[in-house]
Chain A
Amino acid sequence: MSHPARYRLSPPLWLRCLCILGIVGALALAFAGTAGWLTPHRLTAGRLVDQFQRNAGIFPGYRRNHAKGVCLLGEFRSSGLAATISRAEVFAVGARTPIVGRLAIPGSNPYAPDGSVPIRSMALRFTQQNGQQWRTGMNAMPVFAVATPQAFYEQLQAQQLLPATGKPDPARVAAFFATHPETGAFRAWARTAKPSASYATERYNSLDAFEFVDAHGRRQAVRWSMVPEPAMPLQAAASGTTEDDLAADLSARLRQGPLRWRLLITLAAPGDPTADATRAWPEGRRQIEAGTLIVQAEESQIRGACRDVNYDPLVLPDGIQASDDPLLPARSAAYADSYLRRTTEVAEGKGPVAETSSSRSLSP
């Protein structure tokens, strides 16, 4: 039997056009949805940084948090003791790794008085021989106030200043703490914490947990701390807590000699929470002294090597990995957003370098 010419039921033209537009439109919609443009209430890195700016205003060229600080130069001398639990080069026996660091205080205002907040922070970038880097940001507090980025955002929102009073709304702040009992441990500490007049006497803690990976691929959950070695008493008498005590104190101490911290690694026992920075691990956990940080020099953060460093805690060498702590990816995303905003401001000539004339010329 011969087949007639193939008879095909063809959809009408308008339907075919509609299908094409439908497919293209669906793709565009899915793209917009993935980008967060259709869900203004979904928490994104940009919205976190926007809230910092709503709370404190914009200081072009500066970090959106831990804005006031000073650069450090030095090196880390490994004790070799941590090499058994991490294959990162920085921990190898005899390894000496240069660091570019930063000491700072939390807050978005680079001109805030040092006494305005009781917390001090230390950030470090280790550059290994093999070119891999380890970047870490630590705070001198025993636990973090919140466990999740959503809670952090809510805390920021509660701290937004009322136009009428120039202060946060006390009812809103109270409501936040009432609905976030996990902040209890931090608040108990903060009640009696006094702002230190020196960066050199502080113990800086990772707060977030990480995983060390050894040469055989075995994993160990850890937190770490930079524990200060007793600093020499200053020859000049310390003044009272004034606006810029910390920087002056640091300069004076470094003129007398390098400052040292010991890197203490605390190993989690099975069951210790790694996804909750509000919970300290019980006393008596095994600890390893991984080496000594030697801070040899400081530089102003406007001209220093730390200025253009984004201390993203997820820039990690082979041998260190993130834990399941939900704060880590949020920090990484938010810091990247802040870094782009401030480097864009510098590129546009609005950053702090522009204010201080001479030093560097910006490319047009």
Chain B
Amino acid sequence: MKSPTQVFSWPARWLHGTMAVLILLMLFIGVGMVASVSRWHSWLVAVHKPLGMVLLLLVIVRIAVRVCFPPPALPTDLPSIQRSLAHASHWLLYALMLALPLAGWSMLSAGGYPVMLGSSLRLPAIVRADATVFAVLRHLHAVLAFLLFAVILAHLAAALYHGWIRRDGVLGSMFWRRGNR
């Protein structure tokens, strides 16, 4: 098996690690907060909104990093179906990382809620208040979140497959420095 001779740039790796943790946290916070009727509900909602905005900023930076530092190529002996699935899933991940916080922000705007990140920081509404638009966006936010969770699970399984089964250096390109492991 051939190993790639490149690794991801350190900004890409830092963003990947940080956002992986934060996004998983957000997904758990999201499902937990809507089910909860206890003080957890308030705390989780209070964290969910500002964290969502942090992730929106981070994904914009990440897109810029991806453009400036092209990622390493996949191994040349990777079957084309796996190559296509990999690229498609990464596109989907970026689309979802961008769409989810925007859906959340516009959902609150459509619901006529003040978009508060904390007790006094208020973001402007990005769509007009409209109950029908709210309902659509609220359901969209949930559907996209579940889709993101599913794609992350697949992404994780694929990464471990590269690392533990194929042992083709792909996992190392994101997690370790130059050199084989």
A contacts, CB < 8 Å to B = 13, 16-17, 19-21, 23-24, 27-28, 30-31, 34-36, 42-46, 48, 130-133, 149, 307-310, 312, 314-316, 318, 321-322, 324, 326, 328-330, 332-334, 336-337, 339-340, 343-344, 346-347, 362-363
Instruction: Classify the secondary structure of A's interface with B.
Output: helix
Q: Are A340 and B135 in contact (CB under 8 A)?
A: yes
Query: Is there contact, CB below 8 Å, between B135 and A308?
Result: no
Q: Which among B27, B113, B131 is the interface contact of A307 at CB below 8 angstroms?
A: B131
Question: In the complex, which residues of chain A have a beta carbon less than 8 angstroms from the beta carbon of B34?
Answer: 45, 333, 336-337
Partner of A308, one of B28, B112, B136: B112
CB <8 Å contact, A46 and B153: no
Tell me whether A329 and B135 are in contact in the complex, defined as CB-CB below 8 angstroms, given that A24-B156, A30-B28, A132-B122 are known contacts: no
With contacts A36-B35, A343-B131 taken as known, whether A328 is within 8 angstroms of B42 at the C-beta atoms is yes
Contact A132/B116 with A45-B35, A344-B139 known, Cβ cut-off 8 Å: yes
B36 touches A27 (CB 8 A): no
Contact B37 A43 (CB under 8 A): yes
Q: Is the CB of B27 within 8 A of A31?
A: yes
Q: In angstroms, how far is the closest chain A Cβ from the Cβ of B49?
A: 12
The segment out of B1-9, B62-70, B157-165 that lies at the interface is: B157-165
- How far, in angstroms, from A363 to B135 measured CA to CA in the complex? 13
Evaluate whether A333 and B32 lie within 8 angstroms (CB atoms) in the complex, with A13-B165, A315-B114 already known: no
Produce 1/0 per residue, B22-38, CB < 8 A to A. Answer: 00100110011111111
Q: Is the CB of A308 within 8 A of B131?
A: yes
Q: How far is B24's CA from A307's CA once the two chains are assembled, in angstroms? A: 36
Residue pair A339, B161 in contact (C-beta under 8 Å): no
Are A31 and B28 neighbours in the complex by a CB distance under 8 Å? yes
Question: Which listed residue (B36, B41, B136, B164) contacts A16, Cβ 8 A?
Answer: B164
CB contacts (< 8 Å) of B120 on chain A: these are: 132, 318
CA distance A132 to B41 in the complex (A): 21
B175 near A: Cβ within 8 Å? no
Give the chain B neighbours of A19 by CB distance below 8 A.
160, 164
A322 to B43, CA, bound (A): 11
Contact B35 A326 (CB under 8 A): no
Which of A19, A28, A131 is the most central at the interface, judged by chain B CB atoms within 10 Å of its CB?
A131
- Residues in A with CB closer than 8 Å to B119 are 316, 318, 321
Task: Verify B135–A346 contact, CB threshold 8 A.
Answer: yes
Closest to A127 in B: B114
- Name the residue in A149, A324, A334, A344 with the highest tally of chain B Cβ atoms < 10 Å from its Cβ: A344
Measured CB to CB, the nearest residue on chain A to B41 is A329
Contacting residues, chain B, for A30 (C-beta < 8 A): 28
